[in-house]
Amino acid sequence: MKKNLHEANRLSWNAATRAHNSHKGDQARFLREGGSTLFPEELELLGDLRGRSLLHLQCNSGQDTLSLAARGALVTGVDISDEAISFARRLSADSGLPGTFERADVYDWLASAPPARYDLVFSSYGAISWLSDLGPWAEGISRVLEPGGRFVLVEFHPVLWLFDEKLRLAFPYSGGQHVPEASGVSDYVARSGENLVSWGYEEGVRDFQNPHPSHCFQWGLADLLNPLLRHGLALERLEEYCYSNGCKVLEGMREAPGHRFLLPEGIPDLPLMFGLSARRTG
């Protein structure tokens, strides 16, 4: 694990999170009135959530976590960003949706949490690339799941991360190779607009420049799946999707119904997201 790089990412996410939430208006009201930030893909994979204990790893500011709570899950969210967790706690109080939120590096949290506690562990949308070592991550997920419990992940496809924003091949596919980014975590919320803020996008912070660099890691599907299998999780379902939900990742992407983005006109389909469900067997 590269904990020094995790710490750099914490600072970068703190700065970016303030910019992101500046565009999102009254999120507590949106949630109180029955709004949800979830997409059909994760809901289908998660299934019935009523009364299920759910751990949301890398939960960011808690919008998805509390949307899961609104569907009956008993939620705990963990994220490395101080700003994100502080916001999530306020959002829980202001929306009236219960959730426990803890600020920690996911590796530290998984290592210290009680075993066999959760029916579901969930993560989504831009989480895996921030992990510097998938072995202890997979081991920790297996450890905190109840026997028969499931890990559900909906994530941007590693094929997508081969390209820069102009759709030029620029990065390695796999192996956890380190990709530093001097400009840090971007204001992708501003770039995506109402597709991420369906209840009313606000201009908020303009021309955000992150003062803190960030560090990502390039993982292929085999890099991800093999540690899960080694640590007692059985793959039950794997899906690939030729669109991205909510987030305009590449220049020239076309908007589609359901707040989805497609590749630019004339570009052959590529998988832009994937989803999986894996069950703890022991």
Domains of the chain, each with CATH number or no CATH:
3-280 (3.40.50.150)
Which is it for the CA torsion 155, 160, 165, 170, positive or negative? positive
- Whether this prediction's pTM lies above 0.85 is answered by yes
Amino acid letter for position 121: V
Instruction: pLDDT tens for the chain, 282 residues: list them.
Output: 688 999 999 999 999 999 988 998 889 999 999 999 999 999 999 999 999 999 999 999 999 999 999 999 999 999 999 999 999 999 999 999 999 999 999 999 999 999 989 999 999 999 999 999 999 999 999 999 999 999 999 999 999 999 999 999 999 999 999 999 999 998 888 888 777 787 787 888 899 999 999 999 999 999 999 999 999 999 999 999 999 998 888 999 999 999 999 999 999 999 999 999 999 997
Amino acid letter for position 211: P
The angle subtended at Cα 121 by Cα 172 and Cα 9, nearest 5°, is 45
The Cα-based distances of 101 to 59, 87, 104, 156, 166 in angstroms read 9, 10, 10, 24, 37
| 29-65 burial: b if 16+ Cβ within 10 Å, else e | ebbeeeebbbbebbbebbeebeebbbbbbbbbbbbbb
Rg for the chain, CA atoms, rounded: 18
Q: Cα-flanking dihedrals φ and ψ of residue 13, to 5°? A: -70, -35
